[in-house]
Structure 1
Amino acid sequence: MTEFTGKTVLITGAAGALGRALVDAFAKAGANTVVAARRNSEQIAAETAGEALGVALDVTSENAWADAVSATEARFGGVDVLINNAAYLQVGTAESIAIDEWRKVIDTNLTGALLGIRAVVPSMRSRGGGSIVNINSIAGLAAAPGLIAYSSSKWALRGLMRAAAAELAPDNIRVNAVHPGIIDTPLAYGPDGSELVPTSSFAIPRQASPDEITEFVTFVASDRASFATGAELVVDGGFTLGPIK
């Protein structure tokens, strides 16, 4: 028996670097893992240990969410844990961001999370409760000049999380957030291979590995965090402390 044996975990954005790490972590912990991504979901599920289901999911589509949850219920009976990990980032300032790009960021990062919560709640309620974890960002905690749409979406995601936590508490559904710092993924580097956000001057002067972040996400999603809802876990290597040297 492992921590998530008998539980079904649906992970969005599962084709990305952090998403793949989350899929592997929950699978190793015994979960029935639902690999939800716009592409390659079935291939990733086939490569995943244990019981895994791949579902095609555009998080901005209510119909796609309904289909994903229906497929999950047909295969595993329902959803116990939702990891809202899908995200979209577009560089742009308040003056320069194209409105269609602004809307795409908001639709993916904020509306996508709302649609996910809305889609899984009936399933969780029927199973006596559940756990929802929103993957937020340090951009939702501090100023992020040049990332006006992404930062706005992540700040708003904090409000969504707290309101949902209060609304769903009577149903024994916990809603929490993890705020990762800079993760060693392709998104952390510019075209020339340099770090977009240099980490050498911060308290822990390096990027996090995706596997390090999954340790915190699995904790928050698990019964070990049963007394936490509406909470935010900051895992940023001291980024929000500011430069220390």
Structure 2
Amino acid sequence: MSMSESPRTVLVTGAASGIGAAIARRLAAAGDRLVLADRDEVGLGALADELGASAHLVDVSDEQSVGALASRLDGLDVLVNSAGIATETSLDDADLDLYRRTIDVNLTGTVVVTRAVLPFLRESSTARVLNIGSVQGLQAQAGVYAYATSKGGVHNLTRALAVDLAPDGILVNALAPGFIDTPMAVLPDGGTEYETDWFASVYLEHGRLPLRRPGTPDEVAVAAEFLVSASNTYITGAVLPVDGGLAATF
């Protein structure tokens, strides 16, 4: 058991696929009791059946939706805020409704969920919060200003929460994944951005990505498992890149 003899209760948002699903699987394998939340009913149901977890259809940006989930909890030890959307657009062609939606889900949703479950976390002796940011919250890339802004906000929100919640014994950290092979990377033709000539030229041939390959969701989940574990007793307010060295280059 990762923190005590009794299973911890862990809520993972954005759990239906990608990084959220990988984290849920890894923590379930460690003996934790999972509560899964997402808007993808099919993916969510499949993972819940696989893990024997409870599943909840939730829009993290909607306070009523999140409140309904919180009302069904009877305790919580770990929160993983993994729900997110990726959008790309130039500033000139910006759809402000899409911009607002990106901020609402990626940043405001993290606040909404954390606030809703905070009373449970304060009652836990092993409380941990893990937010999923992005390397694009550390560095800028053309055409993703809404996404980059939202993830940069998640990083600074993580630091602010770490300071505010330290007196309660709650550790708050974030991961900043780089290029990870998830459904977010799938292109309209069914391939992924990592199979394009652009990616090979910019990130592989010219060394922008030192490990020269995209990561897997489980490689992110390994880092997540440590940050929410009993072994982590003194790391809080950290934003850890899991990016194959991308943030170390320029």
Q: Given the alignment of the two structures, is residue 66 of structure 1 paired with residue 67 of structure 2, yes or no?
A: yes
Structure 2 counterpart of 1:80: 77
Q: Aligned partners of 1:144, 1:123: CA distance in 2, in Å?
A: 38
Q: Given the alignment of the two structures, is residue 240 of structure 1 paired with residue 229 of structure 2, yes or no?
A: no
Structure 2 counterpart of 1:195: 193
Structure 2 counterpart of 1:164: 161
1:37-48 to structure 2, matched below 5 A, reads 37-40=38-41, 41-48=44-51
How far apart are 1:194 and its partner, in Å?
Answer: 5.0
Unpaired runs of 5+ residues, structure 1, are none
How far apart are 1:235 and its partner, in Å?
Answer: 1.0
How far apart are 1:3 and its partner, in Å?
Answer: 4.9
Tell me: CA distance 1:133–1:103, structure 2 relative to 1, closer, same or farther (3 Å): same
Structure 1 counterpart of 2:231: 224
Farther off after superposition, 181-190 or 108-117: 181-190
Structure 2 counterpart of 1:14: 15
Q: Aligned partners of 1:195, 1:242: CA distance in 2, in Å?
A: 20
The answer to whether the 8 Å contact 1:43/1:54 transfers is: no
Tell me the amino acid that sits aligned with residue 32 of structure 2: A
Farther off after superposition, 186-195 or 82-91: 186-195
Structure 1 counterpart of 2:29: 28
Structure 2 counterpart of 1:143: 140
Q: Secondary structure at the match of 2:72?
A: helix
Q: Aligned partners of 2:129, 2:10: CA distance in 1, in Å?
A: 10
Q: Aligned partners of 1:37, 1:144: CA distance in 2, in Å?
A: 27
TM-score by length of 2: 0.89
Farther off after superposition, 185-194 or 109-118: 185-194
Q: Secondary structure at the match of 2:160?
A: helix
The answer to whether the 8 Å contact 1:183/1:210 transfers is: yes
Q: Given the alignment of the two structures, is residue 211 of structure 1 paired with residue 218 of structure 2, yes or no?
A: yes
Farther off after superposition, 91-100 or 4-13: 4-13
Q: Secondary structure at the match of 1:10?
A: strand
Tell me: CA distance 1:152–1:122, structure 2 relative to 1, closer, same or farther (3 Å): same
Count of paired positions: 237
Q: Aligned partners of 1:21, 1:108: CA distance in 2, in Å?
A: 20
Unpaired runs of 5+ residues, structure 2, are none
Q: Aligned partners of 2:212, 2:55: CA distance in 1, in Å?
A: 37
TM-score by length of 1: 0.91
Identity of aligned residues (%): 38
Which of 95, 103, 119 is residue 122 of structure 1 equivalent to? 119
Farther off after superposition, 167-176 or 182-191: 182-191
